[in-house]
Chains A and B, each alone.
Chain A
């Protein structure tokens, strides 16, 4: 069948810039597969990415894409999602972008619960600047210790957190499934969906051999209850002491009614339709000239 498109030609998606074997290929393929499985048209998707190797993923998929300032992908994505709730909004970036320069925003994204998905490609390094340690890598210096940050445990500690999951770029089928669940969570306006993906850097921090055995797949454990926040936190902290981490759907809150109905992009702005209400506001500042 031949289809004739009336739409203009837009940019041609780019080829990834990543090294052969980079975990990010798995993340991109999973995102593509998830968008396709849910059936979201390209023009309804906005992918915002940070700075770093992972911060090029938005160029490769043919959707609306935005390249944020370093560390600022979360506020930008929050602005997009609050302004136009009809869009499927995906923020993406690396662990340097999200857990170092941008970690202040991560806490508030959990706290605010705005409905969009955030996919962090955690490779324990700054690849694009050639291999410096990132906040997820443990390093001992003579002067001080850099302890690894567990953003999943951080998210679990915040009361409004509604979705945290960890995937692994080496476990593709599960990663697609987790991405579908994260996107579905936000599309149902259930809040902020946080998906960390262990996505090793084969050039500077090749951790495939380590993570393959250090991840504990909760999805494979029938006794695991992903609605039990305290149990999720307990598991995270216990595994951490063993140098391991949980993977899979770690926590998802029970569905809640949708309270936020603001839709700024659809709001009336034509002054001729609002002039009476504007006059009412102005009247509040009128100097009273009535005399006794």
Chain B
């Protein structure tokens, strides 16, 4: 056997029937890499059902930080035939495959010719003696550990510390299963150190492994958010669950609403009292909330709305990613009102931008969207620890009692140069006011007078101009002198950057921009486009929704090229690079 290959970037896929525990195994392997200082990226692919259906867990472990899955899987654990059918075409040529032959032989003609297959009779080794399917994971973990060249005691230690929540006898049964796996590996000639791989060592920094949804929920809490209402929906429910658990510990309230109409209006009610409030949902919920969002824009009520986008239209593909709500976020609902749309490209961004969105909503007194997508929401990645010391609470023009007492009069919708009116919450002596979505005068009294109407529309629009300087710029990378630009946001963030590296290797120099403020289109986005001869706008939708927004905001349309995908699968770096190369070849 040849010397083990040094591994600095490895991708693993574990697949089987939902309930097989694919995620558990991916987490165990992740722990082996995490303790060696590798960066981790974890994703899931599930059917929209509780148990059963095909389910897969993905893990990428790399010495360099990567914000996406790799091009090919180096290791596939297949607990059923479908796993081979789904995973086979995604494998590296020299991939290793662990396959459960209990239910039948390996399907022919799917795996790469050079793949190394270990046919493990799980039924005989684990299920019969240990009675529980669950133990397949611990058994497989032993086999994987040997492939990675990890010593047996460490495997057992890692297994034990990941199972501390189980009862003692169950832990011992799992350890037995692990040993069964090691015995199998011995029989297959894969003794410690004789496996194909040897792990490199990463940089041991203090890192978090967290998903975008968890990071967004945490960001809201840290920003002083104390009221959340949401209705369960994939892929946003983790935010509801996280805040339902945490907010009461901090004196806050989380409500599971009867529908999204209620969720948003619960948040608006809380927001009117001065409590920082948020709701989170996906496209169908955002659609239901449209009337309320224009109401928040008109009545000038601060609220954060998180959209964890999934593939539409209608119910679409609930567990698959898309960036198909951009048009709705930027221009949905009735009438003209200012709104802000931010987009996070990963967990670190999700934390930072939720803090910012919560502050902006207070300063803006209106609706602030945070656009995520299924990939950003639910994939977990290692990130640097969040800078909690940097979190500041901005309350905007909130009037407290003392400040009110100094005024001769208080007009809720006072005309101001910056468009923002000082704001007193119910309970404040002397701040009595009328809040309404009807057009109104400065006092909040309903008015349809033409001159007042124009003044009020313009006042609200001015708020956006006032706050422009506070909106987050995009993240740039690559050679500033490059004439080819790559622009995207959300789920494109990591893959775009890695595709840029691939293009560089092929001799195509590009620079990139991850947009973080989708609306209003910030000047740094327009400047980036201006500095390029042509810009590839990467989007997961069929109609180039964000490219149209850019063109509408003044970006020269002739410079913009769309790279679109809408099959529910995220780009892999090489695929994206190839799409750009193809379009360049076709005349750019």
- Interface positions of A (Cβ within 8 A of B): 6-12, 14, 41-44, 46, 48, 56, 58-59, 62-69, 71-72, 74-84, 86-87, 104-105, 107-108, 262-271, 274-275, 277-279, 281-282, 285-292
CA distance A262 to B275 in the complex (A): 12
Q: Which B residues fall within an 8 A CB radius of A?
A: 31, 34-37, 40, 153-154, 157-158, 161, 204, 206-210, 214, 218, 221-222, 224, 226-227, 229, 246, 248-253, 255, 257-259, 261-277, 291-292, 295, 299, 382, 385-386, 388-389, 391-393, 404-405, 407-412, 425-438, 443-446
B434 touches A11 (CB 8 A): yes
> Do A76 and B269 touch (CB < 8 A)?
yes
Complex: A279 Cα to B221 Cα, angstroms: 12
Distance of A191 Cα from B161 Cα, bound (Å): 47
- CB of B164, distance to nearest CB on chain A (Å): 12
Which of these, B40, B257, B426, B434, contacts A80 with CB under 8 Å? B426
| Inter-chain contacts of B161 with A (CB < 8 A) | 288
Q: Report the Cα distance A59→B291, complex, angstroms.
A: 22
B382/A287 in contact, CB under 8 A: yes
| Known A83-B227, A274-B250; 11 more pairs at CB < 8 Å | A8-B405, A8-B409, A66-B434, A67-B435, A67-B436, A79-B272, A84-B273, A262-B252, A270-B393, A289-B35, A289-B204
B253 touches A66 (CB 8 A): no
Chain A residues contacting B409 (CB-CB under 8 Å) are 8-10
Which residues in A have their C-beta under 8 angstroms from that of B209? 285, 287
- For this complex, 25 residue pairs linking A to B, each with C-beta atoms less than 8 Å apart, are A11-B412, A11-B432, A46-B426, A59-B434, A67-B299, A67-B437, A72-B261, A72-B262, A75-B262, A75-B265, A79-B277, A82-B253, A83-B277, A84-B273, A104-B258, A264-B226, A264-B227, A264-B252, A265-B274, A270-B224, A277-B249, A288-B34, A288-B35, A289-B34, A292-B157
Question: Which residues of the partner chain A approach B257 to less than 8 Å between Cβ atoms?
Answer: 75, 108
Query: What total of A-B pairs shows CB separation below 8 Å?
Result: 246
Query: B410 touching A275 by the CB < 8 A rule?
Result: no
The answer to whether A68 and B251 have CB atoms under 8 Å apart is no
B388 with A271: CB separation less than 8 A: yes
A74 contacts which chain B residues (CB < 8 A)?
262
Which of B265, B430, B436 lies in contact with A43, CB distance below 8 A? Answer: B430
In whole Å, how far is B135's beta carbon from the nearest beta carbon of chain A?
Answer: 22
Whether B35 contacts A266 by the Cβ 8 Å rule is no
Structural contact, B252 and A267, CB atoms closer than 8 A: yes
- Give the complex CA separation of A111 and B265 in angstroms: 17
**Are A265 and B275 CB-contacts (below 8 A) given A64-B426, A76-B268?**
yes
Please indicate the chain A residues that have their CB under 8 angstroms from the CB of B263 in the complex: 75
The residue that B443 contacts in the complex, of A11, A63, A80, with Cβ under 8 A, is A11
Q: Using known A-B contacts A6-B405, A63-B432, A69-B291, determine if residue A79 contacts B35 with beta carbons closer than 8 Å.
A: no
Closest Cβ neighbor of A272 among chain B residues: B389
Q: How far is the CA of A82 from the CA of B252 in the complex (A)?
A: 9
Q: Which residues of A contact B252 (CB under 8 A)?
A: 262, 264, 267
Please give, as numbers and ranges, the residues of chain A lying within 8 Å of B273 by CB-CB distance.
Answer: 79-80, 83-84, 87, 265
A64 touches B269 (CB 8 A): no
- Assess the B436–A282 pair: CB atoms within 8 A: no
CB-defined contacts of A104 to chain B, threshold 8 Å: 258-259, 261-262
Q: How far is the CB of B249 from chain A (nearest CB, A)?
A: 8
Residue of A nearest to B294 (CB): A69
